[in-house]
């Protein structure tokens, strides 16, 4: 039945949409985790590494150059982590789910067009019942009339 196929295609379409949403949410969660890690590293880097590096460099470079070097190093590390987070892309499963989504949507549209044609034909028969019933009624009447006219009169 055409409605069964349409329902099946609709279920496949909904499942593909849920897979697409799940993949996108996983990618977003991974990116957010890496951004959070970058912020944490930058914060701890400013507190711990700055203090130790500052103390080590301040003896040879002086306090101003030592502070600038430690701050620049921490910002560079944070930028590298942000760059890594930006490079995270969804895998092949997103492409596969989008392909299934497109196929299911095309099949569902085909089923709906077929169902629309069936419904329009049924609606025509309901709107014009005489048009659809006329051949079924007229043929026996015409056949009977022809036989009656051919009978020889006794």
Which pLDDT tens digit goes with each residue over 70-126?
A: 888 878 888 998 999 888 888 788 888 888 888 888 888 888 788 777 777 666 655
Residues 19, 93 contacting (CB under 8 angstroms): yes
pLDDT recorded at residue 73? 83
pLDDT recorded at residue 80? 92
pLDDT recorded at residue 79? 92
Residues 91, 98 contacting (CB under 8 angstroms): no
pLDDT recorded at residue 27? 92
Per-residue 3-state assignment (H helix, E strand, C coil) for 61-112: CCHHHHHHHHHHHHHHHHHHHHHHHHHCCCCHHHHHHHHHHHHHHHHHHHHH
Residues 36-77: tens digit of each pLDDT: 998 888 788 778 777 888 888 888 998 888 888 888 887 888
């Amino acid at each position: 039945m055409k409605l069964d196929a349409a329902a099946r295609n609709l279920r496949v379409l909904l499942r593909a949409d849920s897979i697409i949403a799940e993949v996108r949410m996983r990618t977003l969660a991974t990116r957010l985790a890496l951004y959070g890690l970058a912020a944490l590293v930058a914060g701890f880097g400013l507190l711990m590494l700055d203090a130790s590096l500052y103390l080590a460099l301040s003896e040879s470079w002086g306090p101003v150059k030592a502070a600038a070097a430690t701050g620049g190093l921490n910002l560079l590390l944070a930028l590298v982590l942000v760059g890594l987070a930006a490079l995270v892309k969804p895998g092949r499963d997103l492409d596969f789910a989008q392909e299934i989504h497109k196929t299911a949507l095309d099949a569902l549209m085909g089923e709906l067009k077929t169902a629309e044609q069936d419904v329009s034909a049924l609606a025509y028969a309901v709107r014009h019942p005489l048009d659809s019933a006329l051949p079924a009624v007229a043929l026996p009447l015409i056949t009977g009339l022809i036989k009656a006219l051919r009978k020889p009169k006794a």
